[in-house]
């Protein structure tokens, strides 16, 4: 877990640093040249910097152990920070779409310079390198926050390419390419933000995992040689991991020690399934029925009398 935390922090810091470098390079050149494309892309990176900083500060809490204030651990911190990234992307995409429409109506006024091309190439290299590094780290860590930052870095590459198209258009006498390309990319940014947000809302709302995931978990329980039946099975997301609760029916003549061993084995079987985190097992004697069923029967008998 400590190695995952270290990798998470390194990837988060790389995202923060790459955004700072991009903001400085594009912001300075954009202000100096009056290029709307560079200034908009630099503003985009300011939002990215805020998102990556939130992931750095907030997302790492998922690696902290459970404590008195968070007895079930800190798993929800990570999708919460990823949800913030998704929201930032949606807002940013809408802002870029608005700016592109305004530029189409008002007409661009920036002046071409070869320094603009150099600045954009630098930004592309920095952000693509960040995307590649974040994806590589997340193959080991499997973090929703890093997945969101990787998507953000990839979108940043596209927005920078759009700005590059605008600069190339200026160089060849077609400045209208800037707002057109920017508008197209802004739609992609909005879509990506909605997709990230939808995924992490599912993690935060205790929703059930996909049917095939639930079936795989239940099959692991039913395949135990001592289990005669399973009921009250529940699987739900707690953060980006899954918690499982179930009642397993076993023969009633087992000793307490034997039942304990069966329960321990069942818990280990289920916890070995990724991404299951915690398992709550209740053992019932096979064929005896539930206490709630007994209460219902008692209530029915009393009514009949």
For residues 98 and 104, give the distance between their C-alpha atoms in angstroms, rounded to a whole number. Answer: 10
Considering the chain, what is the average pLDDT of its residues?
78
In the block, which residue shows the tokens 């919460």?
Answer: 80
pLDDT tens column, 220-265:
999 999 999 898 888 887 766 788 889 999 898 888 899 899 999 9
Residue spans of the domains in the chain: they are 2-204, 211-304
For residues 71 and 82, give the distance between their C-alpha atoms in angstroms, rounded to a whole number. Answer: 22
pLDDT tens column, 131-188:
999 999 888 887 777 888 888 888 888 878 877 887 888 788 777 776 777 777 778 7
> How large is the average pLDDT for residues 76-98?
76
Cis, peptide link before residue 262, omega less than 30° from 0: no
More confidently predicted of 109 and 169: 169
The continuous run of DSSP H or E covering 247 comes out as strand 241-250
Q: How confident is the model at residue 109 (pLDDT cuts 50, 70, 90)?
A: low
The SS3 call for residue 141 is: helix
| Relative orientation angle of helices 177-204 and 36-58, to the nearest 10 degrees | 20
> How large is the average pLDDT for residues 62-86?
58
Q: Which CATH class is domain 211-304?
A: alpha beta
Token digits of residue 12: 């988060």
pLDDT (0 to 100) of residue 293? 55
CATH topology of domain 2-204: Alpha-lytic protease prodomain-like (1.20.1510)
Backbone angles phi, psi at 243, to 5 degrees: -105, 145
């Amino acid at each position: 877990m400590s190695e995952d935390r270290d990798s998470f922090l390194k990837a988060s810091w790389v995202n923060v640093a790459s955004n700072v470098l991009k903001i400085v390079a594009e912001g300075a050149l954009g202000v100096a040249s009056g290029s709307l494309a560079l200034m908009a892309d630099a503003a985009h990176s300011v939002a990215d910097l805020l998102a990556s900083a939130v992931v750095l500060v907030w997302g790492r809490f998922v690696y902290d152990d459970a404590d008195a204030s968070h007895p079930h651990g800190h798993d929800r911190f990570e999708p919460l920070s990823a949800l913030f990234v998704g929201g930032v992307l949606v807002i940013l995409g809408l802002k870029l779409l608005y700016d592109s429409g305004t530029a189409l109506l008002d007409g661009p006024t920036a002046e071409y310079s070869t320094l603009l091309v150099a600045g954009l190439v630098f930004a592309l290299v920095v952000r693509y390198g960040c995307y590649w590094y974040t994806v590589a780290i997340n193959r080991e860590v499997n973090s929703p926050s890093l997945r969101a930052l990787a998507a953000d870095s990839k979108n940043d590459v596209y927005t920078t390419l759009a700005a590059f198209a605008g600069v190339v258009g200026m160089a060849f006498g077609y400045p209208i390419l800037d707002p057109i390309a920017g508008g197209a990319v802004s739609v992609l940014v909005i879509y990506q933000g909605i997709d990230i947000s939808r995924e992490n809302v599912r993690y935060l709302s205790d929703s059930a995992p996909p049917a095939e995931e639930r079936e795989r978990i239940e099959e692991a329980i039913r395949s135990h040689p001592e289990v005669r039946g399973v009921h009250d099975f529940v699987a739900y997301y707690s953060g980006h991991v899954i918690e499982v609760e179930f009642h397993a029916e076993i023969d009633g003549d087992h000793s307490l020690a034997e039942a304990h061993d069966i329960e321990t084995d069942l818990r280990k079987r289920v916890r070995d399934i990724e991404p299951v985190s915690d398992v709550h097992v209740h053992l019932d004697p096979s064929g005896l029925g539930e206490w709630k069923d007994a209460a219902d029967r008692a209530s029915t008998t009393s009514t009949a009398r």
